[in-house]
Structure 1
Amino acid sequence: MLPKTTLDFLEKLQENNNREWFAENKKKFDAEQKKVKTFFNEIGTLLGKVDSIERIQIFRIYRDVRFSKNKLPYKNHFSVGFNRTKPMLRGGYYLHIEPGASFVGGGFWEPNKEDLFRIRKEIELDASELRQIINQSTFKEYFGTLEGEELKTAPRDFDKMHPDIDIIRKKQFLVTRSFSDKEVLSPDFKNEVVETFKAMRPFFDYMSDVLTTNLNGESIY
């Protein structure tokens, strides 16, 4: 389980987000990062038993401020991504640890132009299977609704009066579940994260089927 010292360090970092403080507390950061990496890799091992994971990407705490108005040098969270094995399996899992703002997420953050068009065409043709998935009680219990940025109107060459335009106009297809600090520090948090990831699978499997076939349902690989 994650220790309270991990959240305590992140809280102090939020209050002292500067290079001088970080340098003075580098040993504490290294100790907490080691614990977090172990925790993330343990989740990866559990997830690997129920899905095919190609890569575990533990994100650096250092921010790239070159093109950002926010010049704070450090992130105020620890995070990790678990990438499914492409090309047949699509979708990615994400875990974010931040005091008062921890969450599990997943989905399609920045689908490329071709994938986005393919998803939209599938929904235009028949959205019933996707509707069934996102309306299931388990999906609603874990995630509430399908999230993500969307256009204000219909994409080019799509009917703005289409009955499923609310999904067609999405640019991202995401699901999230928030956790309190108490939940993050509980002994069961690791298993709860994996169960949340497992609840994403029907959505991921649907998207994988779409992105590996043409509109006739024929494999493109």
Structure 2
Amino acid sequence: MARTIDSSTLSFLKELAEHNTREWFAEHKASYDLARKNYIDFLEELLTAMQAFEPIAYGQKGKDLVFRIYRDVRFSNDKRPYKDHFGAYIADGGRKSTKPGYYLHLSANNRSFVAGGLWMPPADDLKAVRQEIDYNLETFKDIVESNSFRNYFPELSGEQLKTTPKGYDKDNPAIQYLRFKSWNAVKPLSDKEVLSHDFMELVLDAFKTVKPLNDFLLQPLLDVGK
């Protein structure tokens, strides 16, 4: 049977969201350690299963892909010291990669989600992806507008320009996709889904579905900087 997410893991995240202080966290450090281990153990099994369709999963370790739970509050008005979720990014180069990848966000109160795509790429990468979409619009649409894709990800999300990208005409057939600054496919998850026995299969199916998008977005980046 596939590994599952323990109800105690979501319970910890729920309580952390309600008691986000250093004092509370210190008192419940043991619960945090158990919750984090459960999440990482799930990731380890997920990575092994992903190797059947995604080569970048080889050699990756769950503990290296998880983002720190400690928030950087130096330049933020929000001074809560901890994130109220676990997040991990699976991509070539690990969690700090700027390449397309897969993200698993675990949070209580039905705020979990799985996602894929490319998030806020550097300027040269952004330019290269826009050009790829412009040149190969039909291929891109075949991916993101297919029924199989939209069953998981009804529409792409991500920050967009309010104006037309430099170098493109507002009447460009691809303009709705060229305005994106990130191309993200996101599937919300309920607590019931997260705690179900087939959660591993659900995440894997979502990642398999988003892989063609990741492959498309990665292709133009292979030549950037050469």
TM over 0.5: yes
In structure 2, what is the equivalent of residue 112 of structure 1? 122
Counterpart residue identity of residue 197, structure 1: F
Pick from 16, 20, 28: which aligns with 2:19? 16
Deviation, 1:85, is 6.4
Measure, in 1, the Cα distance between the counterparts of 2:150 and 2:89.
23
Cα distance per residue 1:113-141 (max 9 Å; x no partner): 11111121222334111011111111010
In structure 2, what is the equivalent of residue 208 of structure 1? 218
Given that 1:52 and 1:85 are in contact with CA atoms closer than 8 Å, whether structure 2 keeps it comes out as no
Deviation, 1:208, is 2.5
In structure 2, what is the equivalent of residue 186 of structure 1? 196
SS of residue paired to 2:113: strand
Pick from 103, 106, 111: which aligns with 1:94? 103
Counterpart residue identity of residue 83, structure 2: K
Measure, in 2, the Cα distance between the counterparts of 1:125 and 1:42.
38
Cα distance per residue 1:56-86 (max 9 Å; x no partner): 5111111111111110001101111111369
Measure, in 1, the Cα distance between the counterparts of 2:54 and 2:71.
30
Counterpart residue identity of residue 118, structure 1: A
In structure 1, what is the equivalent of residue 53 of structure 2? 50
Given that 2:117 and 2:217 are in contact with CA atoms closer than 8 Å, whether structure 1 keeps it comes out as no
Pick from 72, 79, 86: which aligns with 2:80? 72
Q: What does 1:124-163 correspond to in 2, within 5 Å?
A: 124-163=134-173
Instruction: Give the RMSD, CA atoms, in angstroms.
Output: 1.8
Aligned-pair identity in percent equals: 40
Matched residue pairs, number?
213
Structure 2 gaps of 5+ residues are none
Counterpart residue identity of residue 69, structure 1: N
Measure, in 1, the Cα distance between the counterparts of 2:104 and 2:137.
29
Alignment of 1:38 with 2:48, yes or no, is no
Counterpart residue identity of residue 68, structure 2: R
Given that 1:17 and 1:73 are in contact with CA atoms closer than 8 Å, whether structure 2 keeps it comes out as yes
Measure, in 2, the Cα distance between the counterparts of 1:77 and 1:6.
10
Counterpart residue identity of residue 28, structure 2: N
Measure, in 1, the Cα distance between the counterparts of 2:35 and 2:133.
44
Measure, in 2, the Cα distance between the counterparts of 1:181 and 1:11.
11
Given that 1:63 and 1:72 are in contact with CA atoms closer than 8 Å, whether structure 2 keeps it comes out as yes
Pick from 68, 90, 93: which aligns with 1:60? 68
